[in-house]
Each structure stands twice: as structure tokens, then as C-alpha cells.
A = this chain, B = another copy of it.
Amino acid sequence: MPQVELRIAARPALVRTARQVATTLARRVGLAGDVLDEVRLAVGEACSLAVALVGEGSDAAVSVRFRDDDGLAVEIRAPGDLPAAEGEAAAEVVAAAVEGVGTDDGSDPLPAGSTLMVLTSLVPDVTVRTGADGLDVRLGWPA
């Protein structure tokens, strides 16, 4: 499984597809037990952010790339012109970009902060970056 890329339209229903593919590939590289759950949750969290960022109207795709060079590495990207930031600041950038998208109907705001909390708690290696080419989340489970 050296290189698999999943590209999904920015629709919430497809986040589950990304989770399923992630779980399948994680199992393939030999991850098991609780770690599988963590991969599923973390990839789902990152894709939820990415899908919210792109917005449902858009034709742009969210990309999820898998590599198995050393354990499992998953990179989630969504296009968008965002201020450059990293880590918590990047999560805030995404939250600000997404804010107002789904909240005018009285729905609860997307919890970008808790997404980041989940990611950093569950994933050994995490980088969240925003910039002129959008959102880039890298998740790594070293072997």
C-alpha cells in the first residue's frame, strides 16, 4: 500500500467513506485494536474539517493520501485561500473560515477546537497547517 489517494466531493456523507478506507488501509499495514479506532476517528475529524472548509456547494475535492513508508501516514488536504498558520492557530483559521457557514440556522458551530484536541490526543504525529493553498493535515502513526 505505498500510495493510495482518495478524493471525495465536499459532502458530509463521504466522510464515512474516508473513515472506512482509512480503517481498511490501517489494518493492512498491521495496525490493530485501539489504534484502528484512533485512525478512524482522527481521519474522520480531519476530513470533517476539510469538508466544512470546502463547503458543499463547491466542486473542489478533499484529498486523502495514504502512505505506509514507516507505519501509516495520512495527509488530508482541502483547497482554499487561507492565512498562513500552524497548529492551534491553524485550527482557529479554519474555524473562522467555516464560522457562519452552518450556524445561521441555529445549528451548533463546528467545534474546530475540539477537533484539534482529538487529533493531538490520539495521533502520535500531527501537523495542521493553513495557507494560500488551503488546509493541510498530516497524521502519522509510526511503526
**Chain A residues at the B interface, C-beta cutoff of 8 Å:** 1-9, 11, 13-14, 17, 20-21, 24-25, 28, 61
Determine whether the beta carbon of B25 is less than 8 Å from that of A4: no
Determine whether the beta carbon of A5 is less than 8 Å from that of B7: yes
Residue of B nearest to A5 (CB): B7
Query: Can you offer 21 A-B residue contacts whose CB atoms are under 8 A?
Result: A1-B11, A1-B13, A2-B9, A3-B61, A4-B8, A4-B14, A4-B17, A5-B5, A5-B6, A5-B7, A5-B61, A6-B6, A6-B7, A6-B21, A7-B7, A17-B24, A17-B25, A17-B28, A20-B21, A21-B21, A21-B24
Kindly provide the distance from the CB of A133 to the nearest chain B CB, expressed in whole angstroms: 19
Cα-based distance from A25 to B28 in the complex (angstroms): 19
Copies in the assembly, this chain = 2
Cα-based distance from A6 to B18 in the complex (angstroms): 10
Other A-B pairs, 14, CB within 8 Å; known A7-B7, A20-B21: A1-B13, A2-B9, A3-B9, A4-B8, A4-B9, A4-B14, A5-B8, A5-B61, A6-B6, A6-B7, A17-B28, A20-B20, A20-B24, A21-B21
Residue of B nearest to A21 (CB): B21
* Chain B residues within 8 Å of A3, by CB: 8-9, 61
Contact (A1, B21) CB under 8 Å given A6-B6, A7-B7: no
